[in-house]
Amino acid sequence: MEKLNSLKNFTRRRGPVVLVIMDGVGFGKYEDGDAVKAAVKPTLDALLASAPNCRLKAHGKAVGLPSDADMGNSEVGHNAMGAGRVFDQGASLVSKSISSGAMFEGKAWKEIEGNVLKSGGALHFLGLFSDGNVHSHIDHLKAMIQRAADDGVKKIRVHTLLDGRDVGETSALDYVIPFEAFLADIRSKGCDARIASGGGRMFITMDRYNANWAMVERGWKTHVLGEGRQFKSAQEAIETLRAETHAIDQDLGAFVIAENGRPVGTIEDGDSVVYFNFRGDRSLEITAAFEGGADFDKFDRVRVPRVTYAGMMEYDGDLHVPKRFLVNPPAIDRTLGEYLCASGIRTLAVSETQKFGHVTYFFNGNKSGKIDDALEDYVEIPSDVVPFEQRPWMKGAEIADCVIGGIESGKFDFIRCNFPNGDMVGHTGSFVAARMAVEAVDLCLARIKTAVDKAGGVLIVTADHGNADDMYEHNKKDGKVTVVDGVKKVKTSHSLNPVPCIVYDPEGHGEYESALNEGLGISSIAATVMNLLGFEAPADYDRSVLTMK
């Protein structure tokens, strides 16, 4: 990796460049339901009123997704910010692989399918059951089932992780009912295809960052062992559990589909398993449970079936997890982090567990570990294992403490951090908690700004996507909040709204125009950081928000 060229006529500031990523904080389209606008946030408001700022795109094609109808997410957002360019992401890559037929011609698919054609076992599909297009898409699942049935696979079982987070909070039956009709058609042509188990994504299977292995254990018992409360159908399970608990889809308990008291779809020796999520963070732990050997110690698996296992994509390119995957991930090279290390820049990256992987792994182009041990410090602050709406401040104070310590130490040239509050609390659907989450981040921002002032540094404030800015469902025709039985319908998914980019440069010397460039995406953050560190951005990087004089 070559060093970056110095930027002409630019004076490097005394202190570090500090990038604050307010996860899930965007500019809302509707006032009703905009927890960001409703929040008391004097620091953010003052910065927006006085410092150069613009709005950046953080969804759709601006972050490598198939269309501008697709919500951004933290993974693709941090990829874009760290890469400085837009790469086709999971959803696009999988869709293209399926439509071209490349997936089905690949070695991994042939091994998955060939195993059960030879053994007579079942082909299992496990993953997030919606069209949210953040972790997965139900159309990908249907295409694989259809292909397997066409190729002669005789037994297919589907293990459904209910969403209610990237889609409507109680939309599960909107997917289950037509999917059951799809499976009925598959069965009519000679393939025994059925839903076998399920449960809410925040209750079973889809943990991340080793935060709560009990979720994965519950999933293992449900999907693999067939242990749990039994129902005749997924529809019956959802309706019953919802009536009993009043939980939204993501929090519904686990269920097992059974006939005559026997589970219809346990995972056995000789079976094949496809984990069809394309996004990596919530795929690694269940993959470890399937691929881990005798040294696996996260929970007692009771029995480990000998299966042919594949993930939709490679979830960790450095560790090569999983061993078998259906679609190659984006090959992200020449990241901001790589360029800064080559140029001798000292970096601190910090967040709490929920987003630590985002300011490290995803920011570095899906690469584990540090780029340069001598130049980089990564700090993970353990997250609380409690519902986020109960502690909307999360670990904001501790993150701010670490950032301020890094500024005051004088050890670092570039500091980046992620405050997860707007996203994680936004996903709970609690407007009051989301408002408090934004206010908590603002308190932290005030403290960091004071430290930047004292050190003579530069503060960049942005976000990876929106969420807390759009907490209610709105009618697209008139913009009014959707009301059901007198209650505003909660929205728990990300928004399509733009996010802020603020450049606070208290010791600036007028080297760039006071008005920031408009119409850009969050991939422009990388070039902006390079400029403020005194470097020219590579020619093929997306344009900086700064226009140098």
Query: Residue 120 — very low, low, confident or very high, per pLDDT cuts 50/70/90?
Result: very high
Question: What pLDDT is attached to residue 270?
Answer: 98
74 is catalytic: yes
Q: What is the CATH number of domain 17-88+332-532?
A: 3.40.720.10
Which whole-number Å values give the CA distances from 485 to 248, 252, 340, 482, in the listed order?
16, 21, 55, 10
For the chain, the domains span: 17-88+332-532, 91-327
Q: How many residues does the chain have?
A: 549
Average pLDDT over residues 286-305: 97
Residue 541 pairs in a beta bridge with none
**Helix (H), strand (E) at residue 501:** strand 499-504
pLDDT of residue 318: 58
| CATH code assigned to 91-327 | 3.40.1450.10
Average pLDDT, the chain: 96
For residue 211, the SS3 value is coil
Band of pLDDT at residue 478, cut at 50, 70 and 90: confident
pLDDT at position 75 over 70: yes
Residue range 208-227, pLDDT digits in tens? 878 899 999 999 999 999 99
Residue 69's pLDDT is 80
What digits encode the pLDDT tens for the residues 370-423?
A: 999 999 999 999 999 999 999 999 999 999 999 999 999 999 999 999 999 999
Position 317 confidence tier, pLDDT thresholds 50, 70, 90: low
If you average pLDDT over residues 87-100, what whole number do you get? 92
pTM, two decimals, is 0.76
Side-chain-side CA neighbours of 26 within 13 Å: the count stands at 32
pLDDT band of residue 238 (cuts 50, 70, 90) is: very high
Rounded mean pLDDT, 422-429: 94
367-375, long-range: CB < 8 A, 24+ apart: 367/317, 367/318, 367/335, 368/316, 368/317, 368/318, 368/319, 369/318, 371/337, 371/338, 371/341, 372/341, 375/340, 375/341, 375/344, 375/345, 375/346, 375/347
Q: What is the average per-residue pLDDT within 440-448? A: 98
Catalytic: which of 6, 74, 523, 544? 74
Cβ neighbour number for residue 372 with a 10 Å cutoff: 15
pLDDT in tens, 489-513: 898 889 999 999 999 999 999 999 9
Percentage of the chain exceeding pLDDT 90: 89
Per-residue pLDDT, averaged over 446-459, amounts to 98
Question: In this model, does residue 324 exceed pLDDT 90?
Answer: yes
